[in-house]
Structure 1
Amino acid sequence: MKKIVIMSDNHGDQSMIDYVKEQEQGADYFVHCGDSEAYDIRVLEGFICVKGNNDWSLDLPKEARLNVEGVPIFITHGQYFGYFNRELVMNDLLTRHHCRVLISGHTHMPMFEKDGDFYYINPGSTTLPRGGSDRSYGVLLIDNGKLDFRLKKIQK
């Protein structure tokens, strides 16, 4: 079994990055979906990171890929999905990149949805939640191709 810790949208509050690392010691992977606005990039060491729409000064890729136990995962911030036909655009992205799981942020609202063979995951925001959600991050467990996602509420 592999454990992937996912966070997004801490918007300059670097203490959230340290908090998530401390809470989830022993994770196999740490993923940051963008808008860290890190003023010291070293705080993201050990994370697979993508650039968010507010990460102007950070030299990060717009997307990343990860393959965990044979499960292909696509990671991006999510600012290009829009609000109309969002799932259709996400489905197309996964299809084009031959991935099963999409991990993204941007909306500041948690999501875990299954659509056929595809999974859409958003950990919400560790700092500025929206839509009535709590400050959060996520933990994705992959065991022999089976996925289990747990949303973790920030208790700080």
Structure 2
Amino acid sequence: MKLLIVSDSHGWSNELADIKARHEADTNTFIHCGDSELPASSPFLDGYTIVRGNCDADSSLANEQIKRIGHLTLYVTHGHLYSVKSSLMNLAYRAGEIEADIVCFGHSHLLGAELLEGTLFLNPGSIRMPRGRQEKTYMILRLIENRATVFIHQLDGTELVELRQNFTLPKSI
């Protein structure tokens, strides 16, 4: 199972289409963690599970999405409602409430992957305005049984191999 996770594209549309086309053949789920600044009806968001970020004007977008992937619960939110720029604590509380195994979020534009008390927190950074690094990034999460591998890609599709991370989840897919 492969999930592609992107966030904070801030109005870029062709780039979203290019990323999706590049990985469509071997990816099961596409996620946009908010601040697309595109309407929910935009064809550039077709096929993406999307949430509303603080810069998204379309009120029809949900603030969060909860999905089941096999035996795992996936939680998607932008992060601004949980003050993720200062701490993951509020987001971790919400993840605990819904028993999320994997949390995908954005808002800070800071690339990161971290396993906290059995929950995998993933922030793909930003494909438009990254912080903390120059590379414009998105993620691919590969799940096999209880193993999660996070692959970091630059906007042009090049993998940043040195940033690849492996995690062992408490539950299998």
- Indicate whether the TM-score tops 0.5: yes
Alpha-carbon offset, residue 146 of structure 1: 2.0
In structure 2, runs of 5+ residues without a counterpart are 158-173
Give runs of aligned pairs for residues 47-58 of structure 1, distance below 5 A.
Answer: 47-57=48-58
> Is 1:122 equivalent to 2:123 in the alignment?
yes
Q: Match for residue 30 of structure 1?
A: 30
Where in structure 1 do 4 or more consecutive aligned residues deviate above 6 Å? Answer: none
**Which string of whole-angstrom CA distances, capped at 9 and with x for unpartnered residues, describes residues 2-35 of structure 1?**
1100111110010121121122122100000011
Q: Distance in 2 between matches of 1:68 and 1:103?
A: 13
Distance 1:106 1:143, change over 3 A: same
Residue 82 of structure 2 aligns to a residue in which SS?
Answer: coil
Q: Distance in 2 between matches of 1:111 and 1:145?
A: 20
Letter in 1 for 2:10: H
Which one has more relative contact order, counting CA pairs under 8 Å at least 6 apart? 1
Residue 16 of structure 1 aligns to a residue in which SS?
Answer: helix
Q: Match for residue 108 of structure 1?
A: 109
Query: For the Cα contact (< 8 Å) 1:71–1:145, is it kept in 2?
Result: no
Give aligned-pair identity as a percent. 25
Query: For the Cα contact (< 8 Å) 1:69–1:145, is it kept in 2?
Result: no
Alpha-carbon offset, residue 66 of structure 1: 1.4
Report the TM-score when normalising by structure 2. 0.83
Q: Distance in 2 between matches of 1:137 and 1:43?
A: 16
Q: Match for residue 45 of structure 2?
A: 44
Superposed CA RMSD in Å reads 1.5
Report the TM-score when normalising by structure 1. 0.92
Q: Distance in 2 between matches of 1:90 and 1:67?
A: 19
Q: Match for residue 16 of structure 1?
A: 15
In structure 1, runs of 5+ residues without a counterpart are none
Query: For the Cα contact (< 8 Å) 2:104–2:123, is it kept in 1?
Result: yes
Query: For the Cα contact (< 8 Å) 2:8–2:33, is it kept in 1?
Result: yes
Q: Distance in 2 between matches of 1:143 and 1:117?
A: 16
